[in-house]
Structure 1
Amino acid sequence: MSTALATPAPSLALKTRPLHPGFGIEVLDLDLSDPASDAAVDALVEALDVHSVILVRGQQLSNRRHVEISRRFGTLMVHVLKQFLTTGLPEIYVLSNVTENGKPIGNHKEGWNWHSDLSYVAEPSMGSLLYAVEVPPEGADTLFASMHLAWEGLSPGMQARIRHLKATHSYAGYYAKAFADRAPLTEEQKARTPDVVHPVVRTHPVTGRLSLYVGEDIVKCIEGLPPEESDALLAELNAHAVRDEFVYRHRWCQGDLLIWDNRCTMHCATPYDDARYRRIMHRTTVAGTRPF
């Protein structure tokens, strides 16, 4: 007697519109606050591999629901800067200029350079989910660059030159540049973030599509090249990767949930009048695998 195999349920159809001609979608008419929306979250998980950036506006998420949604994308990481895990849920990393009881509730001026989240660890983040709790009425946009488009926009000669190169990513080096006015990293933080080496061109583990994997400040050098040549090549690749045709600018509204794939995008925060306006953003970070 034969047994029929169960067929998987079809993915939920999402109503979307593009954010950029080459990547990114906004998902419309979706309320993620209710656990009954988990089927829609699973559809977002599938869509991320294809679209790289997903926006869902007008959300009202509790901290716990933010974490629940994020866990459907994978295991969550806890940031090394524990002083900014101030919500009571260690999975949420707070980005903010707000001070309460004499202490900052979040990291301010974080990510004001082009980078991919946690590229400085051996198994970098797969993705991030950033929720806008409170945003300024102007400024504080976030820019996203498609590293798929950047790779595909390189000349064949440059593609051949860099295809099998590797680069050193250094959190200590980045921290010293970005936060020179702060207390240095503790010995524990340094021990948790040793320099790591990753390919300059990485393969998306789901789609097989290639992308550049570079960044400002966090990428210290290209392995095997003299310092001058390494610096020049990194500068050239970073400048190419953020050309206007590869970049989407996101203008935040309160309640925005923005989800991005760190395996094939870079992003950069932009300044705002932090003396006049408050900003509170909650980020969860999904664990990934070693780049190849």
Structure 2
Amino acid sequence: MELRALTPFMGMEVRGIDLRQPVGDADFALIRHALNTHSVLLFRDQALAEADHVSFSRRFGPLLTHVLTQFLKEAHPEIYVLSNVVDAGKAIGNHKEGWNWHSDLSYKAEPCLGSLLYAIETPPEGADTLFASMHAAWDALDEDAQQRIRHMKAVHSYAAYYGKAFADRNPLSDEQKAKTPDVAHPLVRTHPETGRLSLYVGEDVVKEIEGLSAGESETLLAELNGHAIDPAFTHRHVWQPGDLIIWDNRSTMHRATPYDDVKYRRVMHRTTVAGDRPF
């Protein structure tokens, strides 16, 4: 196994490992350390069965199931399907998911540690994923800006996000709303394993900043989101079938990009590792 940097500020490619086979403790310790320090890990040329994907994911911690249960795999409900494919008149996965900058499940009281996304079918063009380093974004703020926001909190809202992203769909059920109440998190969070600070923002899902007027909140969120996705802090991944990427939701944001969903098929499987409350 060898590690190769994807960018100077974020990301490592892990080479020479077949994730269908058990990963030894020493190698996994290196993988875990690389995730904590580089935030995004890429494994190419994998040929994972659903059980392999779930088994490797569990090495990072307990797995979560998504609130949109209609898109979970029956045999392995830990796997959430992202796809534009329709089979027998029924969508096999969620489509147009994550086309805004976000950190997965930030609307939960205990957001996830990370996500492992596995590419089964990918379009020959489009459908890339962009990643942004929130460590690098925080480090690049001047001292006055850091001091201003250091102890602020922001409200994350799945209902607000869903209403904007999926206005053409049926609204959330009362049960789904009950599972995803609004929650306040620090605007600057501490990585629990390294102690590094990072911005904790996001488009659409972050509704407001506590203690500010609506106008002040909107302006500051726009400034911070714009800063966080500066090209100096971002990396674009061009997917190939067999790619597995794990990203650290405690220190990154990401977004999907559009593709010709009439001409091309896309099938992706995602598992999500439980985390703890941001501080």
TM-score (norm 1): 0.94
Task: Go from structure 1 to structure 2 and tell me whether the alpha carbon gap of 1:180 and 1:133 turns closer, same or farther (over 3 Å shift).
Answer: same
- Match 2:122 to one of 122, 129, 135: 135
Deviation sequence 1:187-236 (CA, Å, 0-9, x none): 00000000000000000001000000000000000001000000000000
Assess if the C-alpha contact under 8 Å between 1:31 and 1:37 holds in 2: no
Secondary structure in 2 matching 1:33: coil
Give the structure 2 partner of residue 212 of structure 1: 199
Which residue pairs with 1:7 in the alignment?
A: none
- Bigger Rg, which one: 1
Structure 2 residue identity aligned to 1:229: E
Partners of 2:59 and 2:191 lie apart in 1 by 19
2:147 and 2:25 map into 1 onto residues whose CA distance is: 43
RMSD, aligned CA: 1.0
Aligned equivalents of 2:155, 2:104: Cα separation in 1: 15
Give the match for residue 4 of structure 2: 17
User: What's the counterpart of residue 203 of structure 1?
Assistant: 190
- Which amino acid in the other structure matches residue 275 of structure 1? V
Deviation track 1:238-280 (CA, whole Å, cap 9, x = no partner) reads 0000000100000000000001000000000000000000000
The residue identity in structure 2 corresponding to 1:216 is E
Structure 1: segments with no counterpart, 5+ residues:
1-13
Tell me: CA distance 1:281–1:87, structure 2 relative to 1, closer, same or farther (3 Å): farther
| Deviating 4+ runs (over 3 angstroms) | 36-42
Per the alignment, residue 157 of structure 1 pairs with 144
CA contact (8 A) 1:128 1:262 kept: yes
For the residues of structure 2 that align with 1:129 and 1:86, how far apart are their CA atoms? 15
Matches of residues 1-292 of structure 1 in structure 2 within 5 Å? 14-35=1-22, 40-292=27-279
User: Matches of 2:228 and 2:83 in 1, distance apart?
Assistant: 27
CA–CA distance in structure 1, aligned partners of residues 101 and 119 of structure 2? 20
Structure 2 unmatched ranges of 5 or more: none
8 Å Cα contact 1:32-1:41 kept in structure 2: no
TM-aligned CA distance change 1:200 to 1:36, over 3 Å: closer
- Mapped to 2, the partners of 1:92 and 1:263 lie a distance apart of 21
